[in-house]
Structure 1
Amino acid sequence: MNKKKLATISSAVVAVSLLTAACGSTSGTDGGGTAASSAPEAPLPLSIAIAQVGDIPAKGNAVEQAIEKYTNTKLDIQWIPSAAFNDKVNVMLASNEMPKLLKVNQTPNVVNAIESQLFWEIGPLLSSYKNLSAQNEQFFQNISVEGKVYGVPLYRNMGRGAIVYRKDWFDRLGLTVPKSIDGWYDTLKKLTQSDPDQNGKNDTYGIVLNKTYNQGAASMLTRLAVAMGGVNKWGVDKDANFTPEFMTKEFVDVLKLFRKLYEEKLINQDFAVLDATEAEKLFDTSRVGVRFAVATNGKSQQDRLSKTAPSAVVDVASFEGPQGVRISSENGNNGFLVIPKSSVKSEAELKRVLAFLDKLMDPDMSTLLLRGIEGTHFAKTADNRTEFIGDGFNAFQREVKPYRDNLPVLEGYNVAPLKDVPIGEKGTKMESDGIKYIVSNPALTLTSATFSERGQELEQQMNDAQTKFIMGKIDEAGYQDEIAKWRKAGGDSIMAEYKASYLKLRKK
């Protein structure tokens, strides 16, 4: 950050004088639920190790000063480059030399450290903190280990999945967003064969797949199967028996849909090798009518498309099927913050650290971390919304985003809505509201020794089988043979181990 900019921002500290209510006047408790003494409490020295996002913010910048003043802390932040982040965390775990707050991801090494009692369990204390306890319980369940909570999530909306589509093409062809497998076939066929862009050429697809089409939380197969009533990665019955999604009817029906589309050349024939970025370019250049993405992608898609097709209209819709709106849940976090016992040695200090995290979700701090400093990054509107001003958005990306991405805030909680173009506001609202419709993965935090050892290999085996099936290289019998191989190679063990883990948690 250059000196001129730093001076400008430092002067803006005056604009956040509303934050001087700080610790004593905003809380009324010491973080442990008892009345605070009348004497001012000394600032809490708080060392934090988090991921570097962009350039490292200058020490003592206006944002950091505002956080310290409001939360009554003295921050010592270690910014770890993203490329080396997990390696650096592993070194800290091995040495047990850690700061008072450490950002981690749910890797096997982190789970082992939790099981070795290196971090404080905080679940029983959360009810004492108004903001942390106000969040959906699923956020905490998704980072739990053996049913216990050892950290505060870096919250991300779980119900973000949505359909981004060319509304002008749909309107021109008299189409609506499908709610059934047959409806999807008919719609995608018309978008491919009926010249929706009216250029007289057979050069469009209803949808395209790329080589990661069936991987991770963004799996197109999972998203559509869940909408049709299926499970999210795994299903569990009343007897605690686990079934992987690829053995369920809804998932196989989606596979058959894409097999038929591929056979009739209604989807791209090169999907098995097509990069995701290249697939996205096809939408940007008016070659594709539908994308499975997240709701806020609608705005960025409209922005890019308008450069090549100014009259194009993009819209977003929820995944919906026979049972209504159903969205495959994402993990709901960008990692989580743990509190090491080696550096926070008493429960009293633990409660002060938790109070710090809780205060970050107060309205003043949520506004700071999600919008920036009023008058520098954003302004309030007459209708009680906020909007970025001047170069405020770019400045926010440099000066505030590094904190926002590493601290517990959630868009839509304790912050005024952001004024945006209609599709931007719609996408933001859909992502916030999506939590009402999520279908969670019941195996997300369960333990399986076989999965830890061979899970990635076994997943790849079935991903390859799905691609072979869609391309017609194997038939339904061949697909069932691949499932049998998966079961023999370790799949049966994973199902049994998930069942045992699930039953163990139910007894607690």
Structure 2
Amino acid sequence: MGESLCVESGHLARTDWTETLVSKQLRKQEGGRRFGALAAVLAVAAVAATGCSSGGSGQQQDESAPLEVWIRQDAGSPAAESAQALTEAFSKKSGIEAKLVAVGVTDFETKLQQRTAQKDLPDIVINDTGQLGNLVTQGLVREVDREGVAGSADIADRAWEAARGYDGKYYGVPFNSQAFALLIRKDWREEVGADVPKSWDELTELAVKFTEEDPDGNGKDDTAGMVVPGTTTRGYLTWWFSTMLWSEGGGFVEKQGDGYAPAIDGAASVEAVEKLQAMFCDSKVVQPGASTADSSTTHTVFESGKGGIYLTGPYMLPRFDGSLGKDKYEVVAAPPGAGGTATALAEGENVYMMAGSANEKGQQEFAEFAASPAGQKIGLGVDNGGIIVRLPVNTTVDGAAERGDPRWDVFQKAYDTSGRNAPALPNWSTVRQISSEGLNGVVSDCSRDVAGAMGKLAGEIDEELEKQGAKG
């Protein structure tokens, strides 16, 4: 990446490379609204570099230095307890002291920016695969030698793919994966006399039945067939729609030469968006307020008996088993669409080895332990319900068998056979946000011409690709 590090009082500082990057980004983005957050973060990093010479040789290494480990979980939660168990098991095995810091879900990035400004990054960050581009662009993570990671051959290729940056290099060690599947009210489906849907069109037909045929038998018009987190916040609508769009044969972007080009205005994509708009505007199978709903809202809609079909991740099973009852719903792989192939959004988390650590050997040992069978089994949270490994990235671990619950295998098979990671752009999260705003526009305004709106969205994506240096 052309990055170098120097040390001031034992802490990380950025060099002229970051300052140059900030200048370029600000020139490209002057007057733009969507890259403001990235520019601000990079500017903070540049300020932190003040007084740091560009010829630094890096942090002096100490293989006994303690590690500070961050995870995006709320302190005191069962997930944080599992992370603490993972950290303690690593320390016991390695002899390296490791301290876990459970950083709240909502302010994780803010606190990481603050530590960047203080030139004092944690040693390890366990965070979403979707954040890889941001971390790499800021120069906050070290490159990973995939072949040099102990046990790397046992880690799923798809998980490694989500640890690879736009430049083809790896910047994290996989830790946790997931794919999306359908949770369908089995009792409702049997009540309306329908079979398990074999295509997205049949899925929509089932959603219509759930909406119109009073499947809960209460005599009221109060059920929605499809539960959709349609808000633009954090790009939720794009996040949900990805599985449907790809299954219908469309896409947000497509490879073109050494880069990418917009694909959202292609014929298959436009047809898929028209079907999405019809769910909101014609059949009206989505829950009331879907266009502004985030996942915290949609979870409640499904578990309260107001929605019948929910495309979500395996992490929701324990909650819904308790609130709704596991006998009330079934787990079904997302079906093929008009594209003829079933595709499910794949996501996960990586162990990121942060730049400037005094114990790089310890960083790698932690990442290797987290991805090992022992680390993965701790992360499953079988004993305490604190799930930080949803689907194991280590192919020698059978998560469904460890949990004694075959429903998890539906998600595992979807990940293995149909999973698709988000495009490896320098900053996919920005394109996701732009796409979500464009999609939300056509589901919020039923008179909106989809083809025209997607043409406009393609232009916005094209501009963003050029800003990121990723235009093919």
Query: Normalising to structure 1: TM-score of the pair?
Result: 0.65
From 171, 180, 187, the equivalent of 1:150 is 171
Structure 1, unpaired ranges of 5+: 1-41, 345-349, 372-386, 504-508
| C-alpha separation in 1, matches of 2:197 and 2:108 | 42
Q: Which residue of 2 aligns with 1:67?
A: 90
TM-fit CA distance, 1:203: 3.5
Alignment map for 1:161-200 (pairs within 5 Å): 161-200=180-219
> 2:364 pairs with 354, 362, 368, which one?
354
| Letter of the 2:222 counterpart | D
Counterpart residue identity of residue 155, structure 1 = N
Partner SS, residue 302 of structure 2: helix
Is residue 101 of structure 1 aligned with residue 121 of structure 2?
A: no
Unmatched segments (≥5 aa) in structure 2:
1-61
Match of 1:314 in 2: 329
Task: Identify the match of residue 67 of structure 2 among 47, 54, 79.
Answer: 47
Q: Give the 3-state SS of the residue equivalent to 2:470 in structure 1.
A: helix
Query: C-alpha separation between the residues in 2 aligned to 1:240 and 1:63?
Result: 39
For residues 200 and 155 of structure 2, the distance between their equivalents in structure 1, rounded to whole angstroms, comes to 35
**Alignment partner for residue 245 of structure 1, among 258, 261, 264?**
264
What's the offset of the Cα at 1:177?
2.7
Deviations 1:83-105 (A, max 9, x none): 55333433443454445435566
Q: Within 5 Å, which residues of 2 pair with 1:109-508?
A: 110-114=135-139, 119-123=141-145, 126-145=146-165, 146-157=167-178, 160-212=179-231, 215-216=235-236, 219-231=239-251, 233-236=252-255, 242-245=261-264, 247-250=266-269, 252-256=271-275, 258-259=277-278, 262-268=281-287, 270-274=289-293, 276-298=295-317, 300-306=319-325, 313-321=328-336, 326-333=342-349, 335-341=350-356, 343-344=358-359, 350-351=360-361, 353-371=363-381, 388=383, 393=384, 397=386, 410=393, 413-414=396-397, 425-441=405-421, 443-446=423-426, 455=431, 458-459=434-435, 461-468=437-444, 471-474=445-448, 476=449, 479-488=450-459, 490-495=460-465, 501=470
Structure 2 residue matching 1:290: 3-state secondary structure: strand
The one-letter code of the counterpart of 1:111 is V
Give 2:408's aligned amino acid. Answer: T
Equivalents in 2 of 1:208, 1:77: separation in Å? 36
| Structure 1 residues 341 and 140: alpha-carbon distance in aligned structure 2, compared to 1, 3 A threshold | farther
The whole-number CA distance in structure 2 between the counterparts of 1:176 and 1:202 is 23
**Counterpart of 2:188 in 1: which secondary structure?**
helix
Q: Deviations over 1:176-223 (max 9, x none)?
A: 232335423432222222332334444333224444289448744322
Q: Say whether the 8 Å CA contact 1:298–1:316 is kept in structure 2.
A: no
SS at match of 1:292: strand
Query: TM-score scaled by structure 2?
Result: 0.69
SS of the residue corresponding to residue 501 of structure 1 reads coil
Helix, strand or coil for the counterpart of 1:155? strand
> Who wins on radius of gyration, i.e. which is larger?
1
Amino acid at match of 2:406: K
Instruction: Please list the CA deviations of residues 355-376 of structure 1 after superposition, one character each: whole Å capped at 9, or x if unmatched.
Output: 34323444444444445xxxxx
The alignment partner of 2:347 has SS state of coil
- Give the secondary structure class of the aligned counterpart of 1:207: strand
Matched length? 401
C-alpha separation in 1, matches of 2:419 and 2:286: 28
Q: Is the 8 A contact 2:334 2:343 kept in 1?
A: yes
Relative to 1, partners in 2 of residues 1:71 and 1:251: Cα closer, same or farther, differing over 3 Å?
farther
* Distance across 2 between alignment mates of 1:220 and 1:78: 30
Task: Tell me how far apart the structure 2 counterparts of residues 187 and 315 of structure 1 sit (CA, whole Å).
Answer: 14
Against the structure 1 CA distance between its residues 251 and 143, is the aligned structure 2 distance closer, same or farther, given a 3 Å change threshold? farther
Find the residue that maps to 1:245 and give its secondary structure.
Answer: coil
Could you tell me how far apart the structure 2 residues matched to 1:368 and 1:461 are?
39
Q: Which deviations, in whole Å up to 9, do the C-alpha atoms of 1:22-42 show, x marking residues without a partner?
A: xxxxxxxxxxxxxxxxxxxx9
Q: Contact 1:235 / 1:442 at 8 angstroms: preserved in 2?
A: no
- C-alpha change, 1:482 and 1:462, in structure 2 (3 Å) is same
